[in-house]
């Protein structure tokens, strides 16, 4: 049986505003299926510990996908005007889910916003916009037409789990973020950086069975670039191992 990988969703309003949808981009589910896992969509829920525990009990691994900005209040800052208006329901849900997954040692892969959620849950902070850090390249936020094109390089640090998974020291990636790690969460380590400006592009927690996060979007690249599919394969393998 394929390991079940929970993918957190977000809420979208219907065009007439009468209904709401639990949304997940198919690229995430497709990457998990291709990697040998069974994608399970986790609808946004409140922070009830019982609900969170049941969600995590129903899956063997967790994927925290990309999305909007994490509310700065979660890392002790006032919102800068360049920070998006937070999705309070999604923030509350994912913060509580990620915290429980860390404590329960569930295998986790974070992508873009998912990396930021994990850093914040671990006690780190974020730059609210690239302009908050002088010299940061605007290439971190690809235009819509470039979202499937590798457009900027990342350097993957030797000796990290990320390097062992991807098997390369350099990779071209696509990303659409304007926020990134400022203060790294205690116990985490940096696994990838932008050679252009030193921005953090990957983090992991060596003390966790599997906690890997990247700032770029491998789900947009996995079909043509095996080193990016390898991230999803590693998550599925870790979930299978945890299941026993």
Give the total number of structural domains in the chain. Answer: 1
Cβ atoms 205, 211 nearer than 8 A: yes
pLDDT at 140: 65
Residue 61 in 3-state DSSP? strand
Domain that holds residue 172: 4-243
Q: How far apart are CA 18 and CA 178, in angstroms?
A: 32
Inform me whether the pLDDT recorded for 139 exceeds 80.
no
Q: How far apart are the first and last CA of the chain?
A: 12
**Mean pLDDT (the chain, rounded):** 92
Active-site amino acid positions? 112, 217, 219
Among 114, 122, 120, CA closest to 61: 114
β-partners of residue 41 are: 7
Q: pLDDT of 175-226, one tens digit each? A: 888 889 999 999 999 999 999 889 999 999 999 999 999 999 999 999 999 9
Q: pLDDT of 55-99, one tens digit each? A: 999 999 999 999 999 999 999 999 999 999 999 999 999 999 999
Angle at the Cα of 39 (from 103 to 226), degrees rounded to 5?
Answer: 95
pLDDT band at 22 (very low <50, low <70, confident <90, very high): confident
CATH code, domain with 44: 3.40.50.880
């Amino acid at each position: 049986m394929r390991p079940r990988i929970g993918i957190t969703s977000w809420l979208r309003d219907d065009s007439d505003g009468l209904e709401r949808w639990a949304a997940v981009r198919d690229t995430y589910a497709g990457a998990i299926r291709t990697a040998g896992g069974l994608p399970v969509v986790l609808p946004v829920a409140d922070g009830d510990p019982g609900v969170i525990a049941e969600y995590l009990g129903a899956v063997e691994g967790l994927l925290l996908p990309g999305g909007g900005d994490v509310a700065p209040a979660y890392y002790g800052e006032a919102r800068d005007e360049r920070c998006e208006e937070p999705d309070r329901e999604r923030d509350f849900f994912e913060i509580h889910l990620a915290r429980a997954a860390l404590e329960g040692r569930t295998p986790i892969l974070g992508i873009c916003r998912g990396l930021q959620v994990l850093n914040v849950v671990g006690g780190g902070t974020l730059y609210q916009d690239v302009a908050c850090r002088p010299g940061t390249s605007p290439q971190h936020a690809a235009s819509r037409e470039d979202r499937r094109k590798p457009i900027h390089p990342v350097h993957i640090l030797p000796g990290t789990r990320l390097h062992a998974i991807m098997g390369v020291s350099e990779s071209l990636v696509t990303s659409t973020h304007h926020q990134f790690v400022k203060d790294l969460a205690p116990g985490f380590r940096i696994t990838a950086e932008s050679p252009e400006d030193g921005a953090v592009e990957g983090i992991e927690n060596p003390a966790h069975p599997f906690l890997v996060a990247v700032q770029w979007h491998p789900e947009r690249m996995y079909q043509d670039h095996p080193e990016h599919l390898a991230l999803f394969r590693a998550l599925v393998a870790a979930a299978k191992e945890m299941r026993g």
